[in-house]
Amino acid sequence: MSLLFFLAVLVPVILTTGAVYYHLAGVALPEVEQRNLTLARSVAGEVETFLLAPQYVLGNIRQLVLASSAGAEDRETGAILDAQLTSAPLGGDPVPPLFEAVYLVDSTGRVTAVGLPPGMARHRESFLGLDLSHQSFFSQTGDTATPAWSNTFLSLISGHMSLALATPVTDRGVLVGNVNLDLLQRTVEKFRRDTATQVSVIDREGTVVADTDPAAAASKLNLSHLAVVRAALEGTGSTQKYVTDGTPCLGSASPIRGPGWVALVSQPVATVFAPLRHTAAVAGAVAALVLGLGTWLALAVARRYAAPLSQLTDQARRAAAGEYHLPSIHGSYLEVELLGRTFTEMLAALGAREGQLAESEHRYRELTELLPQVVFETDLEGNFTYANQHGFELMGVTAEDLAAGLSVLRFIAPEDQQRALANMQLRLRGEEVPANEYSMVAADGRSLSALIYTNPILRDGQPVGLRGVLVDITRRRATENALRFTQFAMDHLSDPAYFIRPDGRFAYANEAACTELGYSREELLALSVFAVNPDLPPARWQEHWEEARRDGFLQTTTNHHTKGGESLPVEIALNYVAFGGEEYLCAVARDLSERLALEARVRQSQKMEAVGTLASGIAHDFNNLLQAIAGSTELLLAETSSATSRQRLEQVAAAADSAAELVQQILTFSRRSNPARRPIDLNREVSHATEMLRRILPKMVHIEERLDPELWHANADATQVEQVLMNLGTNARDAMPGGGRLTLTTRNRHIDGHPDLAPGPYVELTVRDDGAGMCPETRDRIFEPFFTTKGVGEGTGLGLSTVYGVVQAHGGHLHCDSAPGAGTTFTITLPALPDASGHVAGATRDSAPLPGGKERVLVVDDEEMVRELAASALEACGYRVDLAECGEDALELYGDALADAGNGSGGRFAAVILDLGMPGMGGRRCLEELRSLDPDARVLVASGYGGPTLQQDVLAAGAAAFVGKPYRLVELCGALRGVLDLAPAHTPES
């Protein structure tokens, strides 16, 4: 029985002990493998979280660099980069900066700007210009236009291992940040649990870059020969046994996304199975003791094992539900105690890992809230599961809206929704999709432009959603559109426009510039300002550049030479422009050809007007002198009976008449003489002038008429037109001393848009000769009075100036076209009357003597000879004459006469003969004062000076009649008699 009892006790104990051992061995090994693999994935996730921060921070720095690119110098970019490397306190302890240094590399691989820690700032120049083009991450970033990680390398700044992250910066090149791997070492050291478990982070070359054992990290051990490491480097996480340094180990490796690293958790196999071996030893001892203890011991053993195992099973179920902080399992036997302790430690490790994951999640959320971009996550259907605060603000929604369910497609413009959905599906399938730009609509209706980057969110290798960054580029697009509009405006500017570099070469030329200079755009951009303006020396160009750069603006005039060799006068407006680190002068050129021609015409017109004004003043003084000469001669002729004296006086009178005609020519040139315009048949006037010219021109000059039979009537003075034709005919005779052809042509014209003529109908008279022609200098002066190319005594120089004055007085236009050896053509354009018929003949002068009178007359003139002459003539006709030399005296005498007439003591003036050009108040104002003093005053205006409308003006101002100087005495008496005979008239008192 004892044997049976022994066997009954021993066999179950042995079987139970063996079963427990093998059961625990079968459960413990997968459990340890799973625990190690879980820890490896946890380490990989922590490293990925660690590496996520450099990506977001470097992205933020990238946006700062882009925002400063419009005009920032490299030193300003370096200051921006320096600002990102300051240390930040965390928990009261100083934390090294995330980046040891940040470089801006141009498209050739050269460092153009660098951000360094404060202690390294003095070495900045050593880094500028470094060539990074051979680095793989530089070429990878340039080829894919996406961020890229480098291999680990020894940092020149800290002397420790470092990792470079590169991201493209549009046309400015690549932004590179050296990640401080000392922070990674700190992160990994948090996983230190015991001396047996070793956690390592291995780069893609197989080198340990961080380890729970700092000495292992410092030795830079290479583990690429381990199969478990190679499998993880190829993307497959696993747990395998291997031998290192003669020690069998159990290792679990998990790939780290991004730089392609591996997280390795390893333990010696002896450590893994030590509890099981100890359990086996205890089980044997127990079996031996059981032989002597009997049933009580068997019952005791059963009771002491069953309770802890039941407790262990219960805690395993609770741990599976996420409850990790459970009381330790205690048993009466060491194996149970060790198993319970190991299980409790495992739960504590899992709980700590959960806490670390929660901390990492919190850190990630804080970083995303600090970013100026929108950070979001979605599920597989594209519904938002997370968005940072900037996302809520940009899209105009709240956290409550997101919790209620919001789809990404709700904010995508309809025209982009299909493309966005297709890109989301591609990313969920793991395919690479570059950042895409979309038109978006916020909840409040605002239109946005956004650039969206996305990555799939993986759980156990399976996608569960998308994680992305949205960059608002609305302002950038508006700026780009404005630039495109500016480009369009410049291209279509009517004036030539250029952008010129400091060396004088063209960087841009619009279509107007190409058209004006006759070059294609490619030809023009290959030239410089010195080719377009050969007269501009480089030194002068440098002066222009410095002045425009200093003042911002410069305006000058010069000449441009076209491709065909033509020279164009231009006005250049230069504006200094600095853009993208480059300097330019923006030049807008305006062709001055038309303006200079117009200015020349204006100057010529002003000169002629000034000469005309001078001539008119001279004519006024001549008229007064001629009036005295002619009047005195006329009186002497009436008083002299000697034939000899009369003959000589008649010669004086004839000379005075010639002088009067000369003065009349001057007045005609100066347009101070009114033409008597009426409808005339210009063809008939040309034919009549031709008949006279044939009698006075040499027989060698052949006159040809080409007259339009349907010619409209001209509105002109027939006498002055005849004078024009005669002057032009004699001018042609002098130009053809050896004979030639004189051609007179008429035609109708309707003018619209002429600079000197109002739109309307005109008749055109062309007078052309085959003479020697004129040089430009002579042609420009031919209309000046007294200018002549003839010898002394051969001409007065008033012929063509008279023609000019007649045409201008008619409201017409006179043009001369002549060149040496090509003859001369005068073109006269006169206003036409298409509906007029016939013409009015000129009036004949009535030379019959007029009777005198006995009335009292006041003669007002500043010239004493003219006053005395008029007084003598009028008194000879029976008038009583009073004299005044100015307007003030005339008003005083006229007022006194009115007063005397009022009280019956004297007679009033029946008429006043008034000169206009007098000192003091002048004749015009005197006329107005006389009419104000006496509305019935009868004033005869006598003047040798006036404008085209002077006669109408003085008659409108109240004058009774007008007589021009120099006048004949009989004309003066006749005009006075006409004024006095106007009814009603006051009867003079004797």
* Confidence band of 26 (pLDDT split at 50, 70, 90): low
Classified as helix, coil or strand, 500 is strand
CB distance 65 to 138 below 8 Å: no
Give the pLDDT band (50/70/90) at residue 880. very high
Instruction: Give the pLDDT mean for 893-905.
Output: 83
Q: What rounded mean pLDDT belongs to the chain?
A: 78
Q: Considering all CA atoms of the chain, what is the largest pairwise distance in Å, rounded to the nearest integer?
A: 206
Count Cβ atoms within 10 A of the Cβ of residue 792 and give its class: 0-12 exposed, 13-18 middle, 19 or more buried: exposed
Helix, strand or coil, per DSSP, at residue 86: coil
- Share above pLDDT 90 across residues of the chain, in percent, rounded to a whole number: 9
pLDDT band at 60 (very low <50, low <70, confident <90, very high): confident
How far apart CA 471 and CA 450 sit, in angstroms, is 5
Check residue 132 and give its pLDDT: 81
The whole-number pLDDT of residue 23 equals: 60
Spatial distance between the Cα atoms of 107 and 145, rounded to a whole number of angstroms: 12
Residue 274 pLDDT class (50, 70, 90 cuts): confident
487-500 pLDDT, tens digit per residue, is 777 777 778 988 88
Cα distance between residue 789 and residue 798, in whole Å = 12
Taking alpha carbons only, the member of 467, 449, 448 closest to residue 457 is 467
What is residue 970's predicted lDDT score, i.e. its pLDDT?
76
Q: Using one digit for the tens of pLDDT, what is the confidence trace for 904-932? A: 766 889 999 998 888 888 888 999 999 99
pLDDT at residue number 842? 36
Which pLDDT value is given to residue 24? 57
| Gap between the Cα atoms of 729 and 768, Å rounded | 9
The one-letter amino acid at 207: T
- pLDDT at residue 796, rounded to an integer: 46
Dihedral, CA of residue 68, residue 69, residue 72 and residue 75, to nearest 10: 90
716 pLDDT above the threshold of 80: yes
Cα separation values, 777 from 248, 455, 604, 782, 819, Å? 114, 83, 13, 9, 10
What digits encode the pLDDT tens for the residues 124-137? 887 888 888 888 77
Mean pLDDT of 444-464: 90
Token pair 């570059």 is found at: 434
On the CB side of 801, CA atoms within 13 Å amount to: 27
Contact 427, 433 (CB under 8 A): yes
Q: Please determine, for residue 645, whether its predicted confidence score (pLDDT) is greater than 90.
A: no
Tokens encoding 173? 């090149």
Q: What is the pLDDT of residues 231-249, one digit of tens each?
A: 888 888 888 888 887 888 8
Mean local confidence (pLDDT), 475-503: 79
Confidence of residue 945 (pLDDT cuts 50, 70, 90): low
Identify the residue with better confidence: 708 or 10.
Answer: 708
Query: What is the sign, positive or negative, of the torsion defined by CA atoms of 918, 921, 924, 926?
Result: negative
882 has pLDDT over 90: yes
Give the pLDDT confidence score for residue 696 in this predicted structure.
76
Type of residue found at 723 = Q
- Tracing tokens 């050269």 back to the chain, one arrives at 110
Is the pLDDT reported for residue 115 higher than 60?
Answer: yes
CB 13 within 8 A of CB 286: yes
pTM higher than 0.75 for the full model?
no
Nearest of 576, 508, 502, 562 to residue 538 by alpha carbon = 502
Residue pLDDT, tens place only, 582-621:
888 888 888 877 777 777 666 666 665 665 566 666 666 6
Write the DSSP assignment of 864-914 as a string of letters.
HHHHHHHHHHHHHTT-EEEEESSHHHHHHHHHHHHHHHHHTSS---SEEEE
Centroid of chain to Cα 484: 10
Q: What is the pLDDT of residue 985?
A: 43
Question: Looking at residue 512, what is its pLDDT?
Answer: 86
Decide if pLDDT at 152 tops 70.
yes
pLDDT at 1: 38
Cα-based distances in Å from 132 to 76, 128, 219, 562, 655: 21, 11, 27, 47, 104
Question: What single-letter DSSP state applies at residue 753?
Answer: S
pLDDT reading at 553 higher than 50: yes
pLDDT at 883: 93
Mean local confidence (pLDDT), 386-410: 87
Could you tell me how many helices (H) and strands (E) the chain has, helices first? Answer: 29, 35
Q: Do the Cβ atoms of 817 and 762 come closer than 8 Å? A: no
The whole-number pLDDT of residue 770 equals: 87
Q: Is the pLDDT of residue 536 over 90?
A: no
Q: Tell which wins on pLDDT, 467 or 986.
A: 467
Percent of the chain scoring above 70 in pLDDT? 77
